[in-house]
Structure 1
Amino acid sequence: MTPEIAAERGLTILDALEIAGQGEEGFNFHTGRGVLSEALPYARLKDEARALAAKLLGAGVKPGDRVALIADTEGDFVRLFFACGYARIVPAPMPLPMAFGGRDAYLAHIRKMIESADAAAAFAPVAMRDWLLEAADGLTLVMTGTIADLEAAAPVEGPLTRPELDDLAYIQFSSGSTRFPKGVSVTHRALMANATAISRHGLVVRPGDRCVSWLPFYHDMGLVGFMLAPIVANLTVDYLATRDFARRPLLWLEMIGRAKATISYSPSFGFELAAQRAATLDLGDLDISTWRCAGIGGDMIRPHVLRRFADRFRAHGFDQRAYVASYGMAEATLALTFAPLDHGLRADMLDLDALENEGVASPSTSEERAREFVLCGPVLPGHAIEVRSPEGETLPERRVGRIFARGPSLMRDYFREPEATAETLSPDGWLDTGDLGYVADKQIVITGRAKDLILVNGRNVWPQDLEWAVESGVEGLRSGDVAVFSVDHAEGEEVVALVQARSGAPEVREKLTTDVASLLRQRFGTPVVVRLVGAHALPLTSSGKLSRARSRELYLSLKAETA
């Protein structure tokens, strides 16, 4: 029996691990230089996780309790995650500090997450033990520390009680792009439904497939896409820590080449970073020709970035037909749609005037007022997507509206947040994704987040249009250097652009401010308040996406300081 069949027979991710453990597949962890540091076969993982489960229960953690796990890319996180499952305890992966601005802010963030999950215990990597102890100081936890601190615990005797399908498999904190992250309650039933759909219908896993990933385990694309779904599909995964990818992005591709990997995913910025680093380098005999599923997800897809990547690495075997655009979110476990395999990117070039003024996705007749959007594929079998008007009516193809989804992969709720759950999940099972988009040829196209829309002279304008225009049109700026948002005042809506400036020279900063304001006024016909901030000052979510909500908070705090 394969792990996929386990899902169809009503079994859990633990049953899938038991089945996968009969083979030789597993997880391989690599150092920042690409050297194998630990091989963790599924057979050994299940045995070690069972033993740890008995110790967790012996330490006083009870079935049904939540356990906070700071999620580094290492074997100990995986062992603890599955130990929780075997003990019928609910793991809650939490982020590393790299995505936050400063130690104190990170500790406060983690403390709030631990409280939100009402965790009974918390564990961290060895290097972060002291940070976790400080973050959890004063909280009534059964245990706080590292996996090594469980060694002294006396294991409970007797068989472990296995979870039911409708028990929680884990709590996934959303990335926090619009507010403080909410805990998404994911059941074993939803997890297995999504992991099976991903492997069978999205990636169409075949013999010989192998994965490489640098995506963090605290994000749904890293956790589900490259830790849990590979167990269901019985695939080996080679891991590079996210921080090591950031330092050496080409190591990602070198690992794909060495392992002859076939499946790897990244947000657009990962492809962009690799192409930028490779721009002037001799890549020698790098060969990534086995990469058949080069997935893109986790953020708005930037087709020009992906074309540059394909152009740069074509000589090293990369086939742009390998691109697989997809769409999903933690509230749907991970994935809702996949573009057809072996077709590469398909994009619509739309008339911005029709899009902004009429909400209609019409082909563009002018390059000056046009924008490209990527088709992200049809919905997975057993699921449904609708695009609705503000009045709740289902819209026809090529009409822009709010996206709703339904299916077996959806969350149970936001953990202990009934009001937020009621706002997002209807009694008949429809999830309000908060995203805007349209359907074209039965494929979903995402145009932006509803909360990010800016009203300019009666037009709905997407902030990423303004951001990308500045990044591509103002000398010295890079991708991710600009955050655009609106601030409501009694006299109307103020459009603000926070821009990262690397120079402290007054004349350079003055020119940058003038150039940004001038470009946006000419291109979009609106005055924009331009405020410069330092390099790396723009706040990011735990998944590396720009957080416009926190950028707005940063602007208001800076404004208050200078008032």
Structure 2
Amino acid sequence: MSRFLTMLLDTATRSDRGMTTGEPGDPVRRTWPEVHATALRMAAALQAGGDGVRGLSRGAAVAVLAGEPATIAPAAQAVWLSGGSVTMLHQPTPRTDLAAWAEDTVTVLEMIDAQLILLGAPFDALAPVLTERGIAFRRLADLDADPSGLATPSADVAGEDDTALLQLTSGSTAEPKAVRITHRNLFANIGAMVEAACLDISRDVMVSWLPLFHDMGMVGFLTVPMATGLELVTVTPSDFLSRPLLWAELISKYRGTVTAAPNFAYAVLARQLARAEGTLDLSSMRFALNGAEPIDPDAVVAFTTAGARYGLSPDSVVCAYGMAETALGVSFAPCDTGLQIDHVDAEQLEKHRRAVPASYGPVRRFPKLGPPLPGIEVRVVGDDGTVLGEREVGVLQLRGESVTPGYLTVHGPQSTQDADGWLDTGDEGYLAGGTVVVCGRRKDVIIMAGRNIYPTDIERAAAGTDGVRAGNTVAVRLTAGEGRHRESFLVAVESRRAGDAEAEQLIRKDVISRVVSAVGVRPAEVVVLKPGSLPKTPSGKLRRAATRDLLAAHA
């Protein structure tokens, strides 16, 4: 039996901690042994088969389409106890074209060779769509109610190199891809994160609203507490989006100590806290991880400033670097240090690809993302394959037990590691005193007049424009050709004033002024779009390549 499953079963027999779901209306707490008991019933039903679906066996790929953490936790555990792998499907929204979603879902299921879908609330109504497409599924409610017995996990149910998770990536292309996370990867990364975050099972309380089809939610805020026995309070993304202040209210009510979210969510909560009234108490929070997208130092400061009057410590914010290819974590800033910024000379960075510390003149600011997690090696490599030194900028590569052995793609399996076990992340960055610093995605770098300009610098400048929606600015690289003599870029922003010609003109003028002031180059064009226009991944990240295609289609 794998070390991951051994840890999971150990928690199931000894823990008195558990998960609370159902907030804010009808909270219910179940201990991890109680969740495990449900998982055993589900596993027995899965192994027995039913509803025209054969019984689950070792190595089977199972997709899950459900939104409720209370249901997903025992379902995932049931699949693992049966020797299968879990794939959390991207979920349709009220605006989703169901025909297109079904087509994409069929492609994903074929890619991972899925045996069936486990279907649960609030997506039960999609059963006819699955039936019409000939997709095998079983309802989670039926599995939980099945009285056929309890599964007994065997010693050989899964080995270290068996697949535990197939994590769908949120890439910019139309073709899906799944990261293959083995039991070995999962165990190694969980242990490394527990150590780096100084997690204490006896006192820590995790609070989350993160989507479980994203690695930060599924691994960090479901699998980690379920496997280690940490206390968890969890709601759905829709609960958070409908009332962001709920996040802070749950931290206050349950004395939450650990949470996580992408940068945009902290910016949203900062605005809510700034005008909130009441008796919130955020003094218990000690580890608020910010990751999954570029970290804006201004958003972090806004969050800690707004939270200060409710007792939030500025040192509680932890800037992090992670990716599905390592199960979740790559590096965490040390606990109790707060936001640490590296100020570097803009010219040295852009022209000579060196991160030279600077305290005046044109500078670029990058959050320090901490040392690599235990068991993970990080190096920086130049264009010619040379391993670079301190503060030299190149592509970040990773190696260690946490690193995935490969992807599943529509064209077949694809290895991720070179002959020496190194994974190319596609991210540019550098090492400073053993600390990881990420500058941006390699494919998104804009090269103008011999300068390497990162889109995030442009986007942050544009985001300060009055009338532009926070978190909805994109800088798109335009390559030479097609009437252009050199590489350039355009900026797309969302605004509720889109459609008002005079307002749009003012927004364009201000965006251009701010971008020129910040990075010294002028965008070829500024496009003002209506809210909801910019393409995003299922986890909410803006898609630069898709934005380029969208704007080209409307040109």
TM-score (norm 2): 0.91
**What does 1:162-311 correspond to in 2, within 5 Å?**
162-177=157-172, 180-205=175-200, 207-282=202-277, 284-311=278-305
Residue 540 (structure 2) pairs with residue 549 (structure 1): no
Distance (Å, rounded) in 2 between the aligned partners of 1:430 and 1:84: 30
Residue 342 (structure 2) pairs with residue 348 (structure 1): yes
CA 539–232 in structure 1, closer or farther in 2 if over 3 Å, else same:
same
Which deviates further from its counterpart, 433-442 or 41-50? Answer: 41-50
Distance (Å, rounded) in 2 between the aligned partners of 1:287 and 1:152: 40
Distance (Å, rounded) in 1 between the aligned partners of 2:144 and 2:198: 40
User: Which residue is equivalent to 1:382?
Assistant: 375
User: Which residue is equivalent to 1:443?
Assistant: 435
Q: What is the RMSD computed on CA atoms of the aligned residues?
A: 2.4
Equivalent residues of 2:225, 2:232 under 8 A apart: yes
Distance (Å, rounded) in 1 between the aligned partners of 2:143 and 2:228: 31
CA 68–196 in structure 1, closer or farther in 2 if over 3 Å, else same:
same
Read off the aligned partner of 2:448 and give its amino acid letter: V
Give structure 1 regions of 4+ aligned residues with deviation exceeding 6 angstroms: 151-154, 417-420
Which deviates further from its counterpart, 203-212 or 336-345? Answer: 203-212
Query: Cα distance, 1:273 vs. partner?
Result: 0.5
The one-character-per-residue Cα deviations of 1:321-374 (angstroms, maximum 9, x if unpaired) are 11111111100111111111111111111222211111111123435x222101
2:87 to 64, 86, 92: 92
Read off the aligned partner of 1:89 and give its amino acid letter: G
Equivalent residues of 1:517, 1:528 under 8 A apart: no
Query: Cα distance, 1:101 vs. partner?
Result: 5.7
Residue 63 (structure 2) pairs with residue 72 (structure 1): no
What secondary structure sits across from 2:470 in the alignment?
coil
Read off the aligned partner of 1:57 and give its amino acid letter: Q
User: Which residue is equivalent to 2:500?
Assistant: 505
Read off the aligned partner of 1:239 and give its amino acid letter: T
User: Which residue is equivalent to 2:532?
Assistant: 536
Distance (Å, rounded) in 2 between the aligned partners of 1:301 and 1:100: 28
CA 386–158 in structure 1, closer or farther in 2 if over 3 Å, else same:
closer
Read off the aligned partner of 1:508 and give its amino acid letter: A
Which deviates further from its counterpart, 123-132 or 344-353? Answer: 123-132
Distance (Å, rounded) in 2 between the aligned partners of 1:317 and 1:152: 45
Which deviates further from its counterpart, 407-416 or 522-531? Answer: 522-531
User: Which residue is equivalent to 2:40?
Assistant: 50
Query: Cα distance, 1:181 vs. partner?
Result: 3.9
Identity %: 30
Equivalent residues of 2:283, 2:312 under 8 A apart: yes
1:370 to 354, 363, 368: 363
Equivalent residues of 2:469, 2:493 under 8 A apart: no
Equivalent residues of 1:18, 1:46 under 8 A apart: no
Query: Cα distance, 1:132 vs. partner?
Result: 5.3
What secondary structure sits across from 1:398 in the alignment?
coil
Distance (Å, rounded) in 2 between the aligned partners of 1:555 and 1:101: 21
CA 463–184 in structure 1, closer or farther in 2 if over 3 Å, else same:
same
Query: Cα distance, 1:510 vs. partner?
Result: 2.7
Alignment: residue pair count? 543
User: Which residue is equivalent to 1:6?
Assistant: none
What secondary structure sits across from 2:503 in the alignment?
helix
Distance (Å, rounded) in 2 between the aligned partners of 1:104 and 1:457: 46
Distance (Å, rounded) in 1 between the aligned partners of 2:335 and 2:236: 27
**What does 1:126-141 correspond to in 2, within 5 Å?**
126-131=121-126, 133-134=128-129, 137-139=132-134, 141=135
Distance (Å, rounded) in 2 between the aligned partners of 1:228 and 1:103: 29
The one-character-per-residue Cα deviations of 1:124-174 (angstroms, maximum 9, x if unpaired) are 3333223354256334x4x32521344797958984442122211121112
Distance (Å, rounded) in 2 between the aligned partners of 1:303 and 1:21: 43
Distance (Å, rounded) in 1 between the aligned partners of 2:550 and 2:94: 15
**What does 1:101-112 correspond to in 2, within 5 Å?**
102-112=97-107
Distance (Å, rounded) in 2 between the aligned partners of 1:540 and 1:526: 25
Distance (Å, rounded) in 2 between the aligned partners of 1:429 and 1:181: 24
User: Which residue is equivalent to 1:480?
Assistant: 471
Distance (Å, rounded) in 1 between the aligned partners of 2:436 and 2:471: 25
Equivalent residues of 2:196, 2:334 under 8 A apart: no
Equivalent residues of 1:73, 1:217 under 8 A apart: no
User: Which residue is equivalent to 1:38?
Assistant: 28
Read off the aligned partner of 2:44 and give its amino acid letter: A
What secondary structure sits across from 2:279 in the alignment?
coil
CA 157–344 in structure 1, closer or farther in 2 if over 3 Å, else same:
closer
Distance (Å, rounded) in 1 between the aligned partners of 2:4 and 2:319: 28
User: Which residue is equivalent to 1:3?
Assistant: none
Residue 394 (structure 2) pairs with residue 404 (structure 1): no
Read off the aligned partner of 1:260 and give its amino acid letter: R
Distance (Å, rounded) in 1 between the aligned partners of 2:517 and 2:433: 35
What secondary structure sits across from 1:478 in the alignment?
strand
CA 73–357 in structure 1, closer or farther in 2 if over 3 Å, else same:
farther
Query: Cα distance, 1:206 vs. partner?
Result: 5.4
Which deviates further from its counterpart, 295-304 or 529-538? Answer: 529-538
User: Which residue is equivalent to 2:448?
Assistant: 456
CA 308–256 in structure 1, closer or farther in 2 if over 3 Å, else same:
same
Distance (Å, rounded) in 2 between the aligned partners of 1:198 and 1:483: 32
Distance (Å, rounded) in 2 between the aligned partners of 1:317 and 1:83: 40
Equivalent residues of 2:48, 2:55 under 8 A apart: yes
CA 431–123 in structure 1, closer or farther in 2 if over 3 Å, else same:
same
Read off the aligned partner of 1:462 and give its amino acid letter: Y
CA 172–14 in structure 1, closer or farther in 2 if over 3 Å, else same:
farther
Equivalent residues of 2:11, 2:32 under 8 A apart: no
Distance (Å, rounded) in 1 between the aligned partners of 2:202 and 2:142: 40
The one-character-per-residue Cα deviations of 1:475-506 (angstroms, maximum 9, x if unpaired) are 21132221111233344434122221212322
What secondary structure sits across from 1:485 in the alignment?
strand
User: Which residue is equivalent to 1:431?
Assistant: 423
Distance (Å, rounded) in 2 between the aligned partners of 1:10 and 1:108: 35
Equivalent residues of 2:2, 2:159 under 8 A apart: no
Read off the aligned partner of 1:541 and give its amino acid letter: T
What secondary structure sits across from 1:336 in the alignment?
strand
What secondary structure sits across from 1:49 in the alignment?
helix
Equivalent residues of 1:175, 1:542 under 8 A apart: yes
Distance (Å, rounded) in 2 between the aligned partners of 1:84 and 1:306: 38
The one-character-per-residue Cα deviations of 1:449-490 (angstroms, maximum 9, x if unpaired) are 111111122211111111111111x22113222111123334
Equivalent residues of 2:39, 2:75 under 8 A apart: yes
Read off the aligned partner of 1:46 and give its amino acid letter: H
Distance (Å, rounded) in 1 between the aligned partners of 2:43 and 2:133: 26
TM-score (norm 1): 0.90
Distance (Å, rounded) in 1 between the aligned partners of 2:222 and 2:193: 13
Which deviates further from its counterpart, 375-384 or 501-510? Answer: 501-510
Equivalent residues of 2:167, 2:215 under 8 A apart: yes
What secondary structure sits across from 2:526 in the alignment?
strand
CA 99–555 in structure 1, closer or farther in 2 if over 3 Å, else same:
farther
